[in-house]
Amino acid sequence: MKPVVSSKRRTAGRGSVQDDNEKLRAAAISAQAALGRGMRSVAEPYPMGVGGVRIQVFPHVFPPKSDTALLIRTARIRRGERVLEPFAGTGAISIALAAKASAVVATDINPDAVESIKRNAELNGLMGKVKAVNADIFRETRSCLTSS
């Protein structure tokens, strides 16, 4: 899978957004592998079902686990609400919640996961309701977590 890349370039010789995306992708994959759980070394996507949602699990993306199915079963989304899912991985939770939500934004730092979310939303006929965003929420929220 190709990473999601902006055509914008940085100035002052810092490198490109594409370089940053490649570094983020490598760091995300490395961190996932270091956790030693959930990552399957696969060369091709494979299908699975979780919480009534059919998805494809792509290489370098965490597959859903039992906590995913639990969250899908217990989430209380009222019709018309908007949903934000950080660390979305395959997008299984976002796709399940899109049945009631008016809109869902699924974020992940891993560009492969973002592509996975898009493909799984399309597989479930939800491209108009599920938006996949490549984002480092830690970078954006770091100031909220530090004491002043």
> pLDDT tens across 5-45, in order?
334 444 444 566 667 667 766 776 666 555 545 455 578 89
- pLDDT above 50 (res 142): yes
Segments making up each domain of the chain, as ranges: 17-145
Determine the average pLDDT of the residues in 115-120.
97
Contacts of 96 (CB under 8 A, 6+ apart): 51, 52, 53, 72, 75
> pLDDT tens across 69-117, in order?
999 999 999 999 999 999 999 999 999 999 999 999 999 999 999 999 9
Q: How far apart are CA 73 and CA 96, in angstroms?
A: 9
The number of CA neighbours under 13 Å toward the Cβ of 111 is 17
* CATH number of the structural domain 17-145: 3.40.50.150
Model pLDDT, residue 147:
59
**pLDDT higher for 137 or 73?**
73
* Angle CA 65–70–72, to nearest 5: 100
